[in-house]
Structure 1
């Protein structure tokens, strides 16, 4: 993502309707279907999900130094700089992995998915969100470095 987008996201995501609504849906889903456990928020961005979902995700991973800096400014320090296509996590080590609006940034999204499922224990969970409708690809998607939207 462009640096300006990280700064903007860190500034507005706690009160912007879209981020709040997405987080409410994610939290509702987790409460209903996923018991609390050891988890990783892949591509944690500026840390909103990590801060809001501590029963499910305690560690954040992101490739961006700037994203991790913003996450630390939220008082969250259990972080790793990592590429989602090659996580420094043992096989079957986690109960849950979240990755919210991340796969659209990655050319080899299939490798990222393989990696997510590699680190989840048998019976564990993955919760992923992605932007839909390729016809909606916009200048904002470009600023966010999206390589696709999904059908």
Structure 2
């Protein structure tokens, strides 16, 4: 994540529907996992994920290749390191949970970063991964975010398996908004800069909440994929 992107995220504010949804995703998964443990957030950006982890009683470690992101995570109370996700300065088998949100799609050698994710998890530990999906949605927006690919379900499943993780679940997000995203993304020449007022922000948040209540929505095409996997017991 580049400095410019961090500035955009920070400028969007904590109530922005997209980043609120990501925080809610982490909170839901923590409730599913039960008691607190040790977690690492790879590519944490402004540290929202670390804040959720800490609020739920988890210890939080962050690794990011951007120094400003490391500073923001430390300000949240997390232990944080400046390093490449493909070479994590962390002990093997030390973490109960690893988060990698929109990180793996930034590297041509994403298999190296995925293998590092597996290495730092304890046997039985959980990985929660998100990636942008559907190559037909590729646009200047992806380039501005430093992405090198958008995944399909098959390519993400293969990446996870190749890293030595066992896939537990995979589902789509932004299913309801996908038609609008597909129409608009090819009309902008970079980062989506259009400001959304509080009403639009609220409506978009409602749509994401409604999507969670539609049982079949997770199997339909969206704009990003979420995968939950675990490191098999040795």
Tell me if both proteins adopt one fold, taking TM over 0.5 as the criterion: yes
- In structure 2, what is the equivalent of residue 85 of structure 1? 86
CA distance in 1, matches of 2:100, 2:59: 11
CA deviation string 1:60-80 (max 9, x = no partner): 1101113223334x4435110
Moved more, 119-128 or 9-18: 9-18
Residue 97 in 1 paired to residue 98 in 2? Answer: yes
**Structure 1: where are the runs of 5+ without partners?**
none
Structure 1 stretches of at least 4 aligned residues deviating more than 3 Å after TM superposition: 69-72, 74-77
The structure with the larger Rg is 2
Q: Quote the residue 2:63 is aligned against.
A: 61
Aligned to 2:50: 50
Root-mean-square deviation over aligned CA pairs: 1.7
Q: What's the offset of the Cα at 1:2?
A: 4.1
TM-score by length of 1: 0.89
Q: Which residue of 1 aligns with 2:182?
A: none
Structure 2, unaligned stretches of length 5 or more? 153-234
1:8 corresponding residue in structure 2:
8
Quick check: 36-45 or 57-66, which moved more? 57-66
Using the size of structure 2 for normalisation, the TM-score is 0.59
Count residues in correspondence: 150
DSSP 3-state at the match of 1:112: helix
Alignment of 1:1-150 (within 5 A): 1-33=1-33, 35-54=35-54, 55-72=57-74, 74-150=75-151
1:103-128 Cα deviation digits (max 9, x unpaired)? 11112111111111011111111111
How far apart are the structure 1 equivalents of 2:98 and 2:26?
A: 12
